[in-house]
Every structure is written in C-alpha cells, then in structure tokens.
Amino acid sequence: MATRIKKVLQDKNVATCITVQGWIRTRRDTGSFSFLEVNDGSCLANLQVLAGEKLANYSEEINKLSAGCSVVVTGTLQESPAKGQDVELQADSVQVLGWADPETYPLQKKRHSLEFLRSISHLRPRTNALGAVTRVRSRLSFAVQQFFHTHDFTQIHTPVITTSDCEGAGEMFQVRATGETTDKPFFGLQAGLTVSGQLQAEVYALALGQVYTFGPTFRAENSNTSRHLAEFWMIEPEMAFCDLSCNIEIATDLLKYVLQDVLDNCQEDLKLFDAFIEKGLVEKLKNVVTTDFVHISYTEAVAQLSKVSETFEYAVEWGIDLQSEHERYLTEKLYKCPVIVTDYPSSIKPFYMRVSDDGKTVAAMDILVPGIGEIVGGSQREERLDVLTQRMTDAGIDLKEYDWYLDLRRYGTVPHAGFGLGFERLVQFATGMSNIREVIPFPRTPGSAPC
C-alpha cells in the first residue's frame, strides 16, 4: 500500500520502508544521484526522493524524468542532511507510470500567472496555488457541514430544476427538453435552473425547524466581475421561530466557525497564500474570528457614504441599491472589519422579505467583508399572509403559481429567517484570491465554460 506524502511528512518514521506515488515537480542531478521532488496532492510540500545511479533504470528512465511525469517510488525514509526538509526517501525502485513531454507540458518550473492557468483548467490543480485552493475549499465545505450538524440543523437537498424564480431578478437559465414546444413544456410550466433554494428550504424549515441546503446555484447575470459566476455554490440555512437578530447571530457564528477551522487545519496552505497571494491573510482571518462585526442600518450606511459621495462612480442616496464600491468602502476603509448592514428599503429587495413597521424597509441583512463586499445576503421572511399577498401582487407575481408558498402562511405560520452564504466568495476570503475564477474548479462565466 502506498502512503500519502502528507502522512509521510507528518509521521517522519525514519528507517521504515514505504511506497509513495505521485508526480514529479522537478529533478536535479548531482554526481551519482538524482533528486526528485515528488508531489501527490495530499499537501503542499513535496517529498524529496534520492535516486542513485545504481538503480537499474537510472540512465534509461530516472535521468530523463521531468515535471509532470507520474511515478511509484519504494524506499527507506531517512533523515535529510540538507536544509529544506527533515526527511527524504532513499529509493530502492522508481517505476515510471506516465511520461510528460517537457517540450509540450505547459507547467514548467517557472511561476505561471493565474490568468494563464485559467486557460488550462484541466492542469492547473497540479500547481501549488490551485492545489492549495482546492484543499482549503474542501475543508471549508466540511466545516460548513460540521457547523450545521453540531448545531442541530437537518440538511435538505433542494432542486436544481425549478419553476419558481426566488429572487425575481429575471436571471434564470431556462431548461427545455429536446423537442419541447412552448405550448407543451416538459414540466408543465416554464422551468429553469435554480437561483436559490430558499423557497424550498422554507417549506422544510416550517416542518423540521432548522434546515440548510448547500448546492449549486445558477444566475444568468451578464456581469463579468471578479466576484460573480454564472454557476456558484450557496449555503442556505432557514430557521423557524427565528427573527433578524437570530439570523445575524447564526450567520456570524457560521463565518467565525469555518474560518477558525481553516486556521486550525490548513496552516501550510494559508502560509502560501499569505506569502504570495495576500500579505497579512492569516492575521486578517484571526481578526475576523476574534472581533465583533460592526452592525449598522442601511440608512446609517447611506448617511456615512453620503459624506464621501464624490469618491464613487455611482451616487449614493436613500433608496438606491448599494454597489460593490459602496460596500467595499464601508468594510475596507470606514470600519476595516466585517460589517452587517440591515433594514434595506423594501423597493430594492425581493417579495419574501418581512416588511418592517415603518412600511418602508424590510428585515434584510447583508454581511460585507474586506476584499469581497457582500458575502452573505439574508432576511427575516414575511410570515403574514395578507402582507405577503400584497407584496407579491405589487411585484406582478402570479399568485396561483406560488399557492404552495402561501400555504406555508395559511397553515401554522411562524416567524422565520434565513440567509445565503456564497461559497466561492467564502473561499476567496479565506485564500485571498482576488478573482472568483480561481476558487472553483471549472468556472462558468459569460462566454466561458471550460471542460
């Protein structure tokens, strides 16, 4: 059985015989030895392998190994006399599984730009940076699940294909069966890919109390920015018997929990990001975990932004939707920490948000973080049948199609709330990656869907 390199480097069981398998990162020759740097993706570090000229295939194969070749190495682990690593593997055999022609293999030793790596999304996970992003993403996903399970939430799987446009923003991709005609849609109604699992999560929250869904979400918004994808993953908890402040508390706890988890479990990868991607990243994450988030109302945010209005492309006044530049000013310049903005004007928010007593605002909350802007969007939901019906009618929504949603208010309605955390934006925040295309394996953006 082969041992994963991460375990080899953790345990450092010198004098034991082990087998590892992986890909060559570099080879350098000195005298009668080749030093092979082998990586198997289990961790950032490579294992140094010493392959001597006495090995049977030394001149025919080992001496010709180059970046990208796959190998199986068996040998004895020993203390390394040189700086740079504690242990190294003295090879008894090096079997070559696959060659990688150095003339054509795109990943050579030099540092490649992230833009170039995007053009080879099938090979980029083999680099240090993208391998590290992939491990941190996986750990964050695990930590999210762990948070909800330790807080007594039930996971539900909401549909990818749906006939309801939750956000009402007209950004749905349509779904049609081959040969389907407009008068006879496959699903009876015009269907699309989900923009949010929230409405279905509400159904289950009003039966099981605390639920969450974590799945792919699709938006046909034509915004080619560093924070938008056409396909992204969203974490959406929904809680019965919960108001806006309870919602804020859960969102804050979730963010702190998962970031603490990567601080504890992804130290090697975070160190790489701190050195090469975002200086001060680890300090930033530690601060977010330990300090209180600022909480202001939308009205206060507009007042603060109005004072510096001239620095913005879009003017600020009460009633506008905050643009990314405004959000980033609040979190990066004014408060220099995560900011929770609540109580937005009802006119700029979807129909399901609970109307406040002032009649002008809704019980909405966004969480803004430095470098990203909005990472969480949520609200208390409108639980009063009459108010909800009025809001939907005003929004031009066909009440018949949402009869099931209204039933939730007809039968045993309760105050409830939830939010959506953009998973890629979370991975961006944790890794310091400035472009969202780096934190999802195969980014889908307008004009691009590789692999």
List interacting residues with ligand 4AD (CB under 6 A).
166-167, 196, 198, 219, 221, 228-229, 232, 234, 236, 374-378, 418-420, 422, 424-425
CA dist 307 and 430 (Å) reads 31
Residue with smaller CB distance to ligand 4AD, 62 or 205: 205
R_g of the chain computed on alpha carbons: 26
Q: Which is nearer to ligand 4AD, 67 or 229 (CB)?
A: 229
> Residues 6-15: contacts with CB within 8 Å, 24+ apart?
6/42, 6/43, 6/45, 7/42, 8/47, 8/77, 8/87, 8/89, 9/43, 9/45, 9/47, 9/86, 9/87, 12/77, 12/86, 12/87, 13/77, 14/77, 14/78, 14/79, 14/87, 15/76, 15/77, 15/78
CB of 392 to Mg ion, least distance (A): 19
Partner from Mg ion, ligand 4AD, none contacting 166, C-beta within 5 to 8 A by type: ligand 4AD
- Min dist. Cβ of residue 252 to ligand 4AD (A): 14
Least distance from C-beta 244 to ligand 4AD, angstroms? 12
Report the partner that residue 167 touches, choosing among Mg ion, ligand 4AD, none (CB closer than 5 to 8 A by kind).
ligand 4AD
Residue 148 · residue 419 · CB < 8 Å: no
Q: Is the CB of 274 or the CB of 424 nearer to ligand 4AD? A: 424
- In the bound state with Mg ion, the residue whose beta carbon lies nearer, of 51 and 166, is 166
Tokens of 332: 């990066």
| 366, two tokens | 């966004």
Q: How far is the CB of 366 from Mg ion (least distance, A)?
A: 6
Distance CA 242, CA 380 (A): 8
Provide the minimum distance between the beta carbon of 246 and ligand 4AD in the complex, in angstroms, as a whole number: 14
Alpha carbon distance 223, 439 (integer Å): 18
Nearest-approach distance from CB 242 to ligand 4AD, in angstroms: 12
- Least distance from C-beta 177 to ligand 4AD, angstroms? 26
Task: Report, in Å, the least distance between residue 223 CB and ligand 4AD.
Answer: 7
DSSP 166: T
Residue whose entry in the numeric block shows the structure tokens 């059985």: 1
Select the binding partner of residue 198 from Mg ion, ligand 4AD, none (C-beta < 5 to 8 A, by kind): ligand 4AD
Element of type H or E holding 297: strand 294-297
Q: Which is nearer to ligand 4AD, 22 or 197 (CB)?
A: 197
Judged by CB under 5 A, does residue 422 bind Mg ion?
Answer: no
Query: What tokens does 272 get?
Result: 């790489």
Annotate 210-225 with DSSP letters as a single string. Answer: EEEEEEEEE-------
Judged by CB, which is closer to ligand 4AD: 262, or 341? 341
Q: Where are the beta strands (DSSP E) in 298-392?
A: 339-345, 361-369, 373-380
Number of shown-chain residues binding Mg ion (CB under 5 A): 1
Regarding 373 and contact with Mg ion (CB under 5 A), the answer is no
Q: Are 172 and 220 in contact (CB under 8 A)?
A: yes
Select the binding partner of residue 439 from Mg ion, ligand 4AD, none (C-beta < 5 to 8 A, by kind).
Answer: none
Binding test (CB under 5 A) with Mg ion, winner from 68, 75, 370, 377 = 377
- Name the residue nearer to ligand 4AD (CB basis): 219 or 256: 219
438 binds, among ligand 4AD, Mg ion, none (CB under 5 to 8 A by kind): none
Q: Give the bridge partners for 236, in sequence order.
A: 213
Which residue ranges make up the site for Mg ion (CB under 5 A)? 377
